[in-house]
Amino acid sequence: MSRVWIYLFPALCALVLTGVHHVEGMELFTSSELEAVNGTDLRLKCTFKSTHPLSEERVSVSWSFRPLGKTTEESIFHYQNSAFPPKTGMFKGHAVWSGDIMKGDASITLQNVQLRFNGTYSCQVKNPPDIQGFVGEISLRVIEKVSFSEIGILAIAVGGFIGVVLLILIIYIVVRVFRRQDDDMVVEMENHKSKDQVL
């Protein structure tokens, strides 16, 4: 029995070590959260490091999107030797390649970001025989663009409120000053009367 283990142990070690050697993970780097204003362009940055040499033919990049509150993902972009932007769906004309495979950049740009683009974006990179260790995820929050007229209305409302408060304060101070002067005149007149009566 022990002789069997003597021959079996090196064979098992060789299998394990070759398995570890082939399952080398890719390192991906993404922002965890981004915010964009409706109607602007936004770069979804995804960079990677591979233990094997990079080549345009071997490296493939896949981007997918999961809307807020949903569990299913849809593919929105693919790159392998050239860009394959979406031809249908809500990202058609919006998702464009902005990466550089040879520099370890798998980024895309969303042009004219829409409110419906709120959700989670996943970046996946493969460079055989490297196997990706994890998927890079970016949570995007799109906010409504505030127009100048809305800012103007807000400024007028705040300015008007402050103006009314200042006007009330000024009126209050003026009334207090006149009342004090009237009170002083009454006291002075009473003092004159009392002096006249004494004389």
> Which mean pLDDT values do the consecutive 10-residue runs of the chain (199 residues) have?
51 40 68 94 95 90 94 94 93 96 96 96 90 82 76 80 92 86 71 62
Other beta carbons within 10 angstroms of residue 41's beta carbon come to: 13
pLDDT at 87: 92
For 4-43, what is each residue's pLDDT tens digit? 445 545 544 443 333 333 345 778 899 999 999 999 999 9
- pTM flag (> 0.75): no
**At 50, is the secondary structure helix, strand, or coil?**
coil
pLDDT at 101: 95
Write the DSSP assignment of 122-158 as a string of letters.
Answer: EEEEEBTTBEESS-EEEEEEEEPPPPHHHHHHHHHHH
pLDDT at 192: 65
Tokens standing for 150? 């809305």
- What is the domain partition of the chain in residue ranges? 24-143, 147-189
pLDDT at 147: 58
State which CATH number among 2.60.40.10, 3.40.50.150, 3.40.190.150, 3.30.1280.10 fits the domain covering 24-143: 2.60.40.10
